[in-house]
Amino acid sequence: MLVGTRQPNATGGGGTIPESFAREPLTDPMGTLRGDWKISGKDTLSLHYNIERQDATGVTPFLSDQPIGSASERQGSNNRFQTFQASWTRVLSPTLLNRASYSFNNFHNVIDPVNPGPELDFPSLADGASYDSPQLTWQKRSQWDDEVDWTRGKHNLHFGGEFQRIGAKFDLGVFRSGAVEFIQNFANQDRNGDGVINDQDLLFAVAIRSGTPNKDLIIPDADNNHIAGYFQDDWRVHPQLTLNLGLRYEIDTDVNDVGHYGQINPILLPFLHGTRHKDGEDWGPRIGFNWATKSGKYSVHGGYGIYYDRVTLEVESLERGLDGRALPINVTVGNASFLDANGNFVPGAPTVSNPFSGPIIPGAGGASEGINLIDNDIRNPRVQQFNLGIQTEFARNWILKGDGIHDFGRRFIIGVPLGSVYNPDSGGPETVTDLQSTASTHYDALWVTADHRFAQRFQFHSAYSFSKASNYANYDQIPFGYPPVDPTDLHREYGPAPNDQRHRLVLQGTVDLPWGLRFSPLWTYASGVPMDILLGDGSGNRVPELGRNAGGRQFHTGTQLNAFLTQLNNAGAPDSPFPLVSPNARFDDTFNSFDMRLSKNFRLSERFNLQLIGETFNLFNKTNILGTSKNNYSGFFNELVPDGNNPNYSSAFGTPVSQAGGVFGSGGPRAFQLAAKVTF
């Protein structure tokens, strides 16, 4: 993975942050057992068991929006999975079939920092250890399903239901090691009077740490039940026309944490309106059709449906964890507030070695995280999907398909500040964020594919999409990186999705060569994604006068952005003056990667087969700038941070900070991989 490293100058004062790659080890052994038992001519029992032990190391989000993290910011993620599934199929008659199944999933996750904390947030680098670890999550899921298939005349009927029981709990060590918010990357003078300029002279604004650093945040009994029933009829109206008619009903019994409603902090009751109850109105009708010519070489298809998403356990954990009582946070004054007239530390100033020794800022701990509250009217997100397409066999073994798609989502969750309340547990006012289902999404696309069936030792697939995606937030970590710029006008948050890629072309083929070799090339080309333009004050907030993800959509060049920023500066807009950027600043980059695989099979015996594989990623080594987080998916530095020697200019803005694909992956630096696979 790409990381940065602070390298202070040996003579003191200043330094550099060169980029390099750090190890990202992954160990992922898996095992599978399966058994099928034909009990009788009408009954079949299938048993399936999986086990996985995954250990990985990677970089996680930082407290502040630094463009890059150091190797020490990596976290170790230890995942343990076990799944068991049993399925019983009974043939009741030649036209009637019943399938009953039960599955159980056990998930256990442990996240630990690679190095001890605290997190050290410099303007251009996140160093130290992530503030949000250690973490432990347990989840057990049981699911019962039953489905009946019944063929009656021109109708093929499917109906059934399911029940899921989820039991989960969290053990979160967030802010136990704390975080230090520095206001400079490197020291620029001997502030402590020891005769040298080094990291002990660094200025930091505040230090943030849990008020109970030896105690985890425990959230037990995060349980839920999901119930659903459905009916579908595949009706062959005519030999050339088939209709699909269906209806699904589902209930999420704890979508709004109704099971813990009585535990809400009493100081929040004035912010609640109405009553909290289960959502029992999730009906999902579906209708589709397919018409084909008698020869079957040309067809038209389409459909409409309503689909519901689940509300993740994260929402419940926010209401129960950030309720103003469960996680006390202390914000202490940094040493930047303990300077004399010459800019040197006065006696008693906090030090880098002991950053949490400063006086506590009353109420600031609550303000840093705030209080989260689930809206009584929160509901499961809902998407309406329309599609209409054609398919034709325009030549022998060649299929051309085109589809128009429109998705309209409603009731997606967004965090909206309601105001503030005095919290006696933190000793000050705290912002109350309402987790409400009032955001919407749109996705419109034209999909075109051309495929050649495997024949004459050759297969080909091509796909092109022209699409537009819009939503209300850059990523799904509720309640998002920054609040709405205007809580009374949420439509100002509506803008391009961070991964809104207007054009994407994929060409892939498979060719059987002599000597049993199989060659599979893959070429992917895509247009750039948009970029949010953020304030340079470290808040992570965007420039409020700009739409979300304006870079690459509202502005295409640094010159265009500068013209707009100049207007804001001349008008005296809030947060101005804004520094100008380089006319050559970039907002996005095209994606272009050619990958290929060469493989050969060796049949060792009747039961054993050996496959040797050689793969190349990004053969032509094209540098593809792209982000690793949807918080800034563009891969370019997107904060208007003023230069230290010229605050009217932001030279870092629009410079690349991350590359797509990692080390082994499409679009990353050119890489080669060898593998062997044994099947039996």
Question: What is the enclosing helix (H) or strand (E) of 663?
Answer: none
Copy the structure tokens of residue 371: 């209080």
Question: pLDDT, tens digit, for every residue of 50-106?
Answer: 999 988 876 665 555 566 778 888 788 889 999 999 999 999 999 999 999 999 999
Closest to 588 in 3D by CA, of 535, 533, 664, 541? 533
Q: Would you give the DSSP letter of residue 15?
A: E
Q: Would you give the DSSP letter of residue 635?
A: -
Residue 499 and residue 465: Cα distance in Å, rounded?
14
Report how far Cα 320 is from the mean position of its chain's Cα atoms: 22
635-672 core/surface letters (b: 16 or more CB in 10 A; e: else): bbbbbbbbeeeeeeebbbbbbbbbbbbbeeebbbbebe
So what's the pLDDT on residue 441?
Answer: 94
At CA 516, angle to CA 512 and CA 517, rounded to 5? 60
So what's the pLDDT on residue 663?
Answer: 60
Residue 126 and residue 634: Cα distance in Å, rounded?
19
Query: 128 in the Ramachandran plot: left (φ > 0), alpha (ψ -120 to 50) or beta?
Result: left
So what's the pLDDT on residue 427?
Answer: 76
Count Cα atoms within 13 angstroms, Cβ side, for 231.
Answer: 3
Question: pLDDT, tens digit, for every residue of 535-578?
Answer: 887 677 889 999 999 999 999 999 999 999 999 999 999 888 99
Question: What is the enclosing helix (H) or strand (E) of 367?
Answer: helix 364-369
Residue 437 and residue 377: Cα distance in Å, rounded?
8
So what's the pLDDT on residue 596?
Answer: 95
Residue 443: C-alpha distances to residues 500, 633, 661 (Å): 9, 18, 25
Residues of the chain with pLDDT under 70: 1, 58-67, 365-369, 476-482, 538, 629-631, 662-665
Closest to 562 in 3D by CA, of 537, 581, 542? 581
So what's the pLDDT on residue 484?
Answer: 87
**Ranges assigned E (strand) in 456-502:** 458-471, 495-496
Residue 328 and residue 486: Cα distance in Å, rounded?
28
So what's the pLDDT on residue 210?
Answer: 87
Please tell me the total number of residues recorded for the chain in this structure.
Answer: 680
Question: pLDDT, tens digit, for every residue of 237-274?
Answer: 999 999 999 999 999 988 888 888 888 999 999 999 88
**Radius of gyration of the chain, Cα coordinates, nearest whole angstrom:** 29
Residue 409 and residue 287: Cα distance in Å, rounded?
18
Residue 387: C-alpha distances to residues 152, 290, 449, 521, 665 (Å): 28, 12, 15, 31, 32
Count Cα atoms within 13 angstroms, Cβ side, for 532.
Answer: 30
Q: Would you give the DSSP letter of residue 579?
A: P
So what's the pLDDT on residue 541?
Answer: 83
Report how far Cα 638 is from the mean position of its chain's Cα atoms: 19
**Alpha helices, DSSP H only, in 55-164?**
none
